[in-house]
Structure 1
Amino acid sequence: MRTLKYIINYAFWIAMSLVFGIGYLRIVLGANNTSADGIGYLFNMFYYWGLFHVGMIVGLVIAFLFIFLDVFYLRKKLKNNFQSTITRFLCLVVITIFVGITHYILEKVIDVI
């Protein structure tokens, strides 16, 4: 039963990190200004395909870093209460900001990506 609780708990945090990854990429790409008619339909499809797939990769990086931090540090330091949930959420936000800054530096400054 304890293992099932951990699996459900981490599934929730993974889903949150995937949403954060897609949200971050939505901020980076900006609004989709193409029309959905004619050739714009193809551009629309590429936009949403890139938003979803690359956002999922960014979200998986965020999830991996969060689970790594949670298993090796947070689980030992925090008890299971509301305060620990808020602390984990803030850690997830900080990791998202860290991944976003790293992505920006690699893509715009160093031009690796």
Structure 2
Amino acid sequence: AVASVWGLIALRLADDEIIPFNYVSYASELEESSKVVEDGCPGCAVSFSPLHKSIKQLEKAAMKIHMEKKVLQADKWGLNTRERTLKVREMNDRLMMAERAFTNREGLAGRPWYKH
């Protein structure tokens, strides 16, 4: 079952011109999870404001790249081939770098196999 899932993921990635990462939904999930943690900590002496502010910044950046991605996908024929190839490459590089920013080479404390 796991092998078939990885096979489908590989096919999807190979088939898409632009890497199908969606950081808008990621930011939304982070916001929901942060609220669950905050609600589970009534009376804590911890301010969740910096966390919520960071998530909002991520959401804003995610919306920006999502819109750029939609424009690039919709404008398949507006750019010449070289310009388009460079724009797609730049978009994919940005998406890959964002994904790498969420990883830690050492992994999680006590669970080094979890890198994300």
Give TM-score scaled by structure 1 length: 0.40
Structure with greater helix percent: 1
Q: Please tell me whether Structure 1 or Structure 2 has the larger radius of gyration of its CA atoms.
A: 2
